[in-house]
Amino acid sequence: MQAIRIHEYGGAEALQLEEAPTPEPGAGQVRVRLEAIGVNFIDVYHRTGAYQSELPIIPGREGAGVVQTLGAGVDGVREGDRVAFAMTPGTYAEEVVVDAAMLAPVPDGVSSAQAAAVMLQGMTAHYLVTDTFDLREGQTCLVHAAAGGVGHLLVQMAKMRGARVIGTASTAEKIAFATEAGADEMIQYTEVDFLEETMRLTDGQGVDVVYESVGKDTFMRSMRALRPRGYLVLYGQSSGAVESLDPQLLNRHGSLFLTRPSLGHYIADRQELLARAGDLFDWIAAGRLSVRIDKTYHLADAGEAHRYLEGRKTKGKILLLP
């Protein structure tokens, strides 16, 4: 099969299309022919070596397609079923082996492109507004990079929960897009100090929760944008890793809560995974969740897709097509 393989950590040029052995499913696994592949920021970390594994690797963590072959002991899924999955390594390829426990069935009203676009970023937005912080009507959240892949879904889900949403983004075009997604107020944080603006918008009170995905460049000011006993949810680090933190700061800024969640811990239970994916697919089919596929590249052009993502250009999702 054709696949992108990384032999050495590096820039986008490290992503080269080549012939690779077709993987065989073991017990409890299936082989899926991919129809759409999701591109995520974590793929950049695997390419650069910020997150290390033994090389060579086929990058990618997300996809949707058709089940080709069942390994031993697999039930509940058949050859020909359309499925989607996240947190499964090796998806920048024509075929991938997936643990059957990670599969979500894709209903007829949802395309493979839509399914591949929401499994990782959509389930992330889902757990962030339900379980990391139980966001409610009457509360205010601050969503950084609100026009991004996770961001534009998080804005919509926070609105579904009835919260007020203040978002940040770097360009006027992104501000317009996140506003269309439902953000109540947007701050162009490359032009305006988002901390000052957030405090002004909340009459000096601060927000209940900050969804912090930018990391190094915004983290300390995000902490100060919270009300006392607010939640700082550090779920990403697109600008770089946050340096170590003195816990006393959480006291000084108002008995704050800090968490660093990861999707894997919120879909480890199969029922939880199915419930999150099921909600997303129901909302898409019903027209309640709008998934913007910003760019689609051929698998061979994965490097271009990474340049676009790292260049802060994303407004929604990037997909690769095999």
Ligand X SMILES: NC(=O)c1ccc[n+]([C@@H]2O[C@H](COP(=O)([O-])OP(=O)(O)OC[C@H]3O[C@@H](n4cnc5c(N)ncnc54)[C@H](OP(=O)(O)O)[C@@H]3O)[C@@H](O)[C@H]2O)c1
Q: Report 28-47 residues binding ligand X (CB under 6 A).
A: 40-42
Q: Which of 174, 253, 276, 295 binds ligand X (CB under 6 A)?
A: 174
Give the range of 1-9, 102-110, 130-138, 145-153 binding ligand X by CB under 6 A: 145-153
Q: Which of 6, 34, 314, 320 binds ligand X (CB under 6 A)?
A: 314
Give the range of 89-97, 195-203, 245-253, 256-264 binding ligand X by CB under 6 A: 256-264
Q: Which residue number, 216 or 229, has a Cβ lying nearer to ligand X?
A: 216
Least distance CB 95 / ligand X (angstroms): 24
Q: Which of 134, 257, 262, 269 binds ligand X (CB under 6 A)?
A: 262
Q: Does 121 bind ligand X (CB under 6 A)?
A: yes
Say if residues 50 and 310 touch (Cβ distance below 8 Å).
no
Q: What angle do CA 86, 306, 4 make, to 5 degrees?
A: 65
Q: Which residue number, 22 or 239, has a Cβ lying nearer to ligand X?
A: 239
Token pair 């499925």: residue: 83
- On the CB side of 165, CA atoms within 13 Å amount to 30
Q: Which residue number, 162 or 257, has a Cβ lying nearer to ligand X?
A: 257
Q: Which residue number, 182 or 261, has a Cβ lying nearer to ligand X?
A: 261
Q: Which of 34, 129, 147, 186 binds ligand X (CB under 6 A)?
A: 147
Cβ atoms within 10 A of the Cβ of 258, count?
16
Phi, psi (rounded to 5 degrees) for 145: 50, 50
Angstrom CA distances, 80 to 4, 23, 33, 163, 183, stand at: 25, 18, 10, 41, 40
Q: Report 63-82 residues binding ligand X (CB under 6 A).
A: none
Say if residues 194 and 217 touch (Cβ distance below 8 Å).
no
What are the residues whose beta carbons fall under 8 Å from the beta carbon of 191, sequence distance 6 or more?
none
Q: Does 237 bind ligand X (CB under 6 A)?
A: yes
Of the candidates 214, 212, 210, 211, the residue with the CA atom closest to the CA atom of residue 240: 214
Orientation angle between helical segments 112-127 and 149-160, nearest 10 degrees: 60
DSSP designation for 56:
S
Q: Which residue number, 33 or 270, has a Cβ lying nearer to ligand X?
A: 270
Least distance CB 69 / ligand X (angstroms): 29
Beta pairing partners, 211:
143, 233
Token pair 């006393």: residue: 248
User: Under rule CB under 6 A, how many of the chain's residues touch ligand X?
Assistant: 30
Q: Which of 29, 112, 114, 124 binds ligand X (CB under 6 A)?
A: 124
Q: Which residues here bind ligand X, judged by CB under 6 A?
A: 40-42, 120-121, 124, 145, 147-151, 169-170, 174, 213-214, 217, 235-239, 261-263, 309-310, 312, 314
